[in-house]
Amino acid sequence: MHSTKSSISLALFCKVVDNYGDIGICWRLARQLQKEHGVALTLWVDDLKSFRRICPEVATDCETQEIQGVIVRHWRDQNGVFAAGDVADIVVEFFACDIPPGYIKAMSECTPHPVWLNLEGLTAETWVEGCHMLPSPHPQLPLTKYFFFPGFNKRTGGLQVEAGLIARREAFQADPRAAADFLAQFGVTETGMDALKVSLFCYPQAPIAALFAAWQAGERAVVCLVPEGVGGDAVTDFLGRQSTAGAHATRGSLTVRVIPFVPQPDYDKLLWACDVNFVRGEDSFVRAQWAAKPFIWHIYPQDENLHHVKLKAFLNTCLAATASLTALTLAWNGAAGDGDVVDAVDLAALWRDMEAELPDIARLSTKWEQTLLENGDLATNLLKFAETVPPRA
Ligand SMILES: Cc1cn([C@H]2C[C@H](O)[C@@H](COP(=O)(O)OP(=O)(O)O[C@H]3O[C@@H](C)[C@H](O)[C@@H](O)[C@H]3O)O2)c(=O)[nH]c1=O
């Protein structure tokens, strides 16, 4: 990974569709481009409340603020106010989020025109390799937008990974006190540290109650850490009370602890400190791969089970997806067999199979991480690509 300090400007537009992944991905990219490449970064985001959940420094009532060197603009209805002088050298729209027509018009009035990229969502499906970096000329204006796809091989833009991330993780994991000290803030005691530690971040459709039943009846002690607001009724039912941060209960071999939603850097530490991570969407899914620990992915659901295709493409690609991990992941996503809901008995058997393989899966996860690192990092790849886009005056 190399760092190219520059004085270029970049505007990143983010519409929060739901949850925290859209802003999670954009905020991570903004920080990295600013910090590692010296890019003058403006992040336009339409939902400051969601942003604040992963970055407590955000003021939700502010039009313009600077956070960690990034200019954050509240994207509302500023359509009429743009002039060519407001336009950045590189304009990135996240996930085809339709940037304001006034901004596009101002882009067309710039000389030279800015580089315009659409940063797409992550999938392991092979069709993205044919679409990565493809141009899409504007039908009326003299502007061309290019598609930029994240991905798992060199025929894509790679994944987001900050310089020094792996070294920070290795230092954390080499320090015998680091995980214990970090988890102590969530009430995990020394005895809890001997249990299998699991973080649980998923959508409400996951068969959480069946998994809890399997862990509860299992032989090995499990401590499950669930961020506040995640897990719905299954968590409330297990606790026998409201699932607010600090709530916890033990039944059989399982202890469930509700933890606060932590800032993004601490979420990495949570993944590093646990033995198995349940993750979801796009950003936590990527971070789990940089944690190099066994993980189960709950993919963002789409109509007509389109997400099952994406899920299977990833499982076919990922080196760490052993037969047992694949079977449990498919069941967790309702994608096994004919998609019937799994019962506690099925899930207990699938969990036992995967649990027996955890040391192997952990080894493969490290290997997978090494493979991914060979693709470089998305921020650097994106800037390198932007340099190759021909200027159109
Ligand atoms: C649990 C937790 C997560 N996070 C962060 C990590 C990630 O940046 C973010 C969660 O994002 P994700 O994992 O992507 O899951 P997600 O489900 O929150 O987000 C998304 O999924 C995408 C596929 C969709 O496009 C989006 O519309 C969105 O739904 O929240 C924290 O900072 N602290 C926490 O305690």
ipTM: 0.97
Beta-carbon-side half-sphere exposure of residue 232 (alpha carbons within 13 Å): 9
Q: Are 258 and 247 in contact (CB under 8 A)?
A: yes
pLDDT score recorded for residue 338: 64
In a domain, 232, yes or no: yes
Residue 86 zone, left/alpha/beta (φ > 0; ψ -120 to 50; rest): alpha
Domain match, 20 and 56 both: yes
Domain match, 274 and 145 both: no
Among 93, 115, 149, the domain boundary falls at 149
93 is catalytic: no
Q: Whose CA is nearest to atom 4 of ligand 1?
A: 264
In a domain, 3, yes or no: no
Amino acid occupying residue 366: T
State which residues form the domain around 202: 165-373
Burial string for 8-22 (b: 16+ CB within 10 Å, else e) reads bbbbbbbbbeeebbb
pLDDT score recorded for residue 23: 98
How many structural domains compose the chain?
2
Domain match, 272 and 201 both: yes
Closest CA to 335 of 319, 316, 357, 360: 316
Residue to substitute in 95, 228, 284 for testing ligand 1 pocket (most ligand atoms within 8 angstroms of CB): 284
In a domain, 252, yes or no: yes
In a domain, 1, yes or no: no
Domain match, 188 and 45 both: no
Domain match, 137 and 180 both: no
Domain match, 255 and 355 both: yes
Q: Are 25 and 106 in contact (CB under 8 A)?
A: no
Q: In what order do the strands lie in the sheet with 196-200?
A: 248-251, 254-259, 222-227, 196-200, 276-280, 295-298
Those residues whose C-beta lies under 8 Å from the C-beta of residue 167, and which sit 6 or more positions away, are none
Closest CA to 6 of 38, 52, 42: 38
Give Cα 107 distance to the centre of its chain: 30
pLDDT score recorded for residue 2: 40
- Provide the sign of the torsion angle of the four alpha carbons 362, 301, 165, 130, taken in this order: positive
Domain match, 184 and 56 both: no
pLDDT score recorded for residue 339: 59
Task: Write the CATH number for 304.
Answer: 3.40.50.2000
In a domain, 125, yes or no: yes
109 is catalytic: no
Regarding the beta carbon of 10 and ligand 1, being less than 6 Å apart is answered: no
Per-residue pLDDT tens listing for the chain (393 residues):
344 456 899 999 999 999 999 999 999 999 999 999 999 999 999 999 999 999 999 999 999 999 999 999 999 987 777 888 889 999 999 999 999 999 999 999 999 999 999 999 999 999 999 999 999 999 999 999 999 999 999 999 999 999 999 999 999 999 989 999 999 999 999 888 999 999 999 999 999 999 999 999 999 999 999 999 999 999 999 999 999 999 999 999 999 999 999 999 999 999 999 999 999 999 999 999 999 999 999 999 999 899 999 999 999 999 999 999 999 999 999 998 765 667 777 999 999 999 999 999 999 999 999 999 999 999 999 999 999 998 765
Amino acid occupying residue 231: G
* Ligand 1 centroid, distance to 278 Cα (angstroms): 12
Domain match, 203 and 140 both: no
Choice among 46, 47, 89, 282 that is catalytic:
282
In a domain, 383, yes or no: no
Domain match, 145 and 170 both: no
Those residues whose C-beta lies under 8 Å from the C-beta of residue 109, and which sit 6 or more positions away, are 83, 84
Number of Cβ atoms within 10 Å of the Cβ of 374: 9
Domain match, 290 and 224 both: yes
Please state the pTM of the whole predicted model: 0.96
Collapsing DSSP to helix, strand or coil, 81 comes out as helix
